[in-house]
Structure 1
Amino acid sequence: MNPEASRLWRAPRWALSILLACLGMLGPFSTDTYLPAFAGITQALHATPLQMQQTLSSYLFGFAVMNLFHGSLSDCFGRRPVVLIGLTAFTLASLGCALAGSVEALIFWRAVQGMSAGAGIVVSRAIIRDMYPPADAQRAMSQVTLFFGVAPAVAPMIGGFLFVHADWHSIFWFLVAIGLALLLANARWLPETLHTQHKHPFHVGKLLREYARLISSPRFVLLVLASGIPFNGMFLYVLATPVFLGEHLQFAPTQFFWFFCCTIGGIMAGAAVSGRLAGKVTPAAQIKLGFQVMVVMSVVNIALNLWVPLSAWWALPVLGLFAFGWAIMVPVVTLLVLDQVPERRGMASSLQACVGSAANGLVAGALVPLVMHSTHALAFTSAGLMCIGLVAWVIVQKGLKT
């Protein structure tokens, strides 16, 4: 924690949480805003469904690769410069997407978008831990998750509206405006939270050795899996929305927001509960509660898919409750990850985000095309991804007791 933290931000804590949540919103806006226009972009660019799926996976893999460096660079040069450069690159990449005349160009600029968008969410986690002690950091992390949850609910509504009343290019022009607005806001208000005594010189060889040390730590890897992989149990459905909502549930593009309202409503409610529980229950108890909710919802989702005709009336609330369970536990696990290397929290945040993004990319590029045409396959795959995180946490717990 920065010893001068109290002098860096004089405004209320929730104001900093909103600023940091807006940085994290770049990811959901980049992913969710153009989903309702998938079919239209495919037709306009004469693309195949596989190529359109690559516009998602290229973004996610770009996000994963650069996440290895965002946090580490912020440990060396400061949080603020990395955020501002990332926002500048994101705005330019969004401009490239808006002007893309082929699906190949769109895939390229989407990869650049992913490489730059991660700066906000990675560095914002490190900023929280720079500014607050553990219990307050959990509350701040929960507030960020709460405000952050607005973006995926609003993004497809905006995307659907722009696509129906303008064209698909307007969606990326909108992202240009978002990037520019965030760049100006952070240039004006974001403080530098990394204390000068905590800066580390940037040496690629040393950085790779530090990453190797973290990767060789079973506890660190298991905590990263416990925090990131269960998210894919829900994100699987987000990536499959053009098929899951458009084909299975027969939703029009302007109706996609109902899905996001349920899932993000669950995330916001879970984040609010997580903040309330901070300092009142043990981290282990809170994580256990989150996993219990996700296990129950996974079982219910499978059972309903097997024995009840598909309906949005039960499918969307079940996914929303799954998201609720994830949001209860993820702020706690994220802080545990960062505290594994308190002297290099930026690097820890980078590696955590990289693993999570790589998992997202594999889900987008490999799993989703295989399972999205079957609601049964979606339900079983979602449960399987959640179980990976659950097993990782159980192993961590056993390690703590022995």
Structure 2
Amino acid sequence: MPSAKNKQAIPGWLILMGLLTALGPLAIDMYLPAFPSIVAGLHSTQGQVERTLASYLFGLALAQIFYGPFADRYGRKLPLMAGLVLFIVASIACGLTDNVEHLTLWRIVQAFGGASGMVIPRAVIRDNFDTRDAAKALSLLILVMGVTPILAPLLGGQVLIFGSWRGLFAIMATGGLLLLIAVARTMRETLPPEKVIALRISTIARNYWGLMRHRKFMCYTLAGGLGSAGMFAYIAGSPRVFIEIFHVDPKYFGFLFGLNAAALIVASQISARLLNRHTPQALLKNAQITLACATLAALLITLTGGMTLFILMLCLMCFMASQGFVNPNAAALALAEQGGRLGVASALMGTLQMLCGALSGLAVSEWQSSTPLPLTGLLALCACLSWLFGRIALRST
């Protein structure tokens, strides 16, 4: 795979990495407007359907642990293709099920396939770039994958107008198939032969234990992961808050969701430009302060009973814009010193981040309220913890 450090245009391989990374969020965001339809179609409850999202996030968290060692042993391409096949099969099964428990199980399998598109692209980027350029590339990757949160709920809402929620999983399967063809035909292996790591239990355990003892890696990972946990709390809780509490028509849900995703995209690109003059550490520090302030303000307004849809959207857009700075810079800093074990480092980082997201998604689905308090409360908690770990990491740098 050719290096693109000196090219102005976004290289094709990086766009493919972005699309692969977007596959997981596609399976998260597209079916959000369909929650009421799935509740009715499977004769289940809102909480049960929300737990299918939490189960998907748990699957993403667990699966990434396995992809890392395989990506360091067999290269980046083969494990990626295997994951895409699994994603396609599980997507078809999700669309055919008539039971919410079976849907939950197949969502876990689907996550095990989609996780390959979250671990391996980060490793491919670090195969090609140093820390500063990797932060820029990850920002560009967010631009590509950021289109997914905008288009997926909009597409999901439109599909529901003309068909059922089952068609959404058919679209996921089709997307996975197209990416599988693209990877098979165009992707080149980027793992250098001298960096191949033997697939031994002792080696895998030693690498993971070494990463867990690496203070900067763990703190930067948790700084980004806890920020992402707030995003997943928003993703899981936004259908209830927007549609049930503020009575937004489901067909307009995608528009509000897209505004927040646009804030994430724009901020990530500003972050990439600012990296020409500022360090990733400086951008991360300032973004996390804004992250905490925006969410604490939302929590305070909710507790005083003054929360409106307009105010909530302002707070959420500020939160998402801050995440546009936090995510790429925290990831690049976490991977900066892991050149000899990028696969397992990327896997452990993704696992911890998805685990944080799964827990926050589960918490917001279990915390029932007629106000936005579950959402704003969890956002504030995640943002403050993200700031804390970010501060610890920056002080150790």
**Per the shorter chain, which TM-score range?**
over 0.9
Tell me the alpha carbon deviations over residues 211-262 of structure 1, each in whole angstroms, 9 at most, x when there is no partner.
1221123332211111110122232121012211111121121111122212
> Superposed, which structure 2 residues align to 1:41-120 within 5 Å?
41-120=38-117
Alpha-carbon distance in 2 for matches of 1:91, 1:273: 35
Alpha-carbon distance in 2 for matches of 1:257, 1:49: 19
Alpha-carbon distance in 2 for matches of 1:92, 1:372: 36
Alpha-carbon distance in 2 for matches of 1:237, 1:371: 14
Offset at residue 209 of structure 1 (A): 2.5
Over 3 Å counting, the alpha-carbon distance change for 1:172 and 1:17 in structure 2 is same
Alpha-carbon distance in 2 for matches of 1:306, 1:191: 53
Alpha-carbon distance in 2 for matches of 1:229, 1:222: 10
> Superposed, which structure 2 residues align to 1:201-350 within 5 Å?
201-307=198-304, 309-350=306-347
Q: Which amino acid aligns with 2:81?
A: L
**3-state SS, counterpart of residue 53 of structure 1:** helix
Over 3 Å counting, the alpha-carbon distance change for 1:59 and 1:372 in structure 2 is farther
Over 3 Å counting, the alpha-carbon distance change for 1:96 and 1:298 in structure 2 is same
Could you say which residue in structure 1 is the equivalent of 2:138? Answer: 141
Offset at residue 11 of structure 1 (A): 10
Could you say which residue in structure 1 is the equivalent of 2:384? Answer: 387
Normalising by structure 1, we get a TM-score of: 0.93
Offset at residue 359 of structure 1 (A): 1.1
Alpha-carbon distance in 1 for matches of 2:218, 2:7: 36
Pick the aligned partner of 1:374 from 371, 374, 378.
371
Offset at residue 340 of structure 1 (A): 3.1
Offset at residue 203 of structure 1 (A): 1.1
302-311 or 80-89, which deviates more: 302-311
**3-state SS, counterpart of residue 367 of structure 2:** helix
Offset at residue 78 of structure 1 (A): 0.5
Over 3 Å counting, the alpha-carbon distance change for 1:398 and 1:140 in structure 2 is closer
Over 3 Å counting, the alpha-carbon distance change for 1:58 and 1:348 in structure 2 is same
370-379 or 94-103, which deviates more: 370-379
Does residue 1:188 correspond to 2:185, yes or no? yes
Over 3 Å counting, the alpha-carbon distance change for 1:9 and 1:180 in structure 2 is farther
Structure 1: gaps (5+ residues) = none
**3-state SS, counterpart of residue 366 of structure 2:** helix
**3-state SS, counterpart of residue 200 of structure 1:** coil
Alpha-carbon distance in 1 for matches of 2:256, 2:235: 9
Preserved contact between residue 64 and residue 353 of structure 1 (Cα < 8 Å): yes
Alpha-carbon distance in 1 for matches of 2:97, 2:352: 29
Alpha-carbon distance in 2 for matches of 1:347, 1:170: 35
Over 3 Å counting, the alpha-carbon distance change for 1:219 and 1:264 in structure 2 is same
Pick the aligned partner of 1:166 from 163, 166, 180.
163
327-336 or 170-179, which deviates more: 327-336
Could you say which residue in structure 2 is the equivalent of 1:351? Answer: 348
Alpha-carbon distance in 1 for matches of 2:369, 2:173: 30
Tell me the alpha carbon deviations over residues 172-211 of structure 1, each in whole angstroms, 9 at most, x when there is no partner.
1111111111111111211211111111111123212221
Preserved contact between residue 289 and residue 387 of structure 2 (Cα < 8 Å): no
Alpha-carbon distance in 1 for matches of 2:146, 2:314: 16
Could you say which residue in structure 2 is the equivalent of 1:6? Answer: 3
Alpha-carbon distance in 1 for matches of 2:373, 2:361: 18
Offset at residue 162 of structure 1 (A): 1.1
Could you say which residue in structure 1 is the equivalent of 2:16? Answer: 19
Alpha-carbon distance in 2 for matches of 1:243, 1:373: 9
Q: Give identity over the alignment, percent.
A: 29
Tell me the alpha carbon deviations over residues 33-64 of structure 1, each in whole angstroms, 9 at most, x when there is no partner.
11111111111111233321221122111111
**3-state SS, counterpart of residue 188 of structure 2:** coil
Preserved contact between residue 372 and residue 378 of structure 1 (Cα < 8 Å): no
Q: Which amino acid aligns with 1:61?
A: F
Alpha-carbon distance in 2 for matches of 1:7, 1:142: 15
Q: CA RMSD in A?
A: 2.1
Preserved contact between residue 207 and residue 341 of structure 2 (Cα < 8 Å): no
Alpha-carbon distance in 2 for matches of 1:13, 1:199: 28
Normalising by structure 2, we get a TM-score of: 0.94
Preserved contact between residue 231 and residue 357 of structure 2 (Cα < 8 Å): no
Preserved contact between residue 274 and residue 329 of structure 1 (Cα < 8 Å): no
Over 3 Å counting, the alpha-carbon distance change for 1:56 and 1:9 in structure 2 is farther
Over 3 Å counting, the alpha-carbon distance change for 1:395 and 1:57 in structure 2 is same
Offset at residue 328 of structure 1 (A): 1.1
Q: Which amino acid aligns with 1:101?
A: D
Structure 2: gaps (5+ residues) = none
Tell me the alpha carbon deviations over residues 248-296 of structure 1, each in whole angstroms, 9 at most, x when there is no partner.
1211211111222121111101111111012311222111121122123
Over 3 Å counting, the alpha-carbon distance change for 1:164 and 1:224 in structure 2 is same
**3-state SS, counterpart of residue 251 of structure 1:** coil
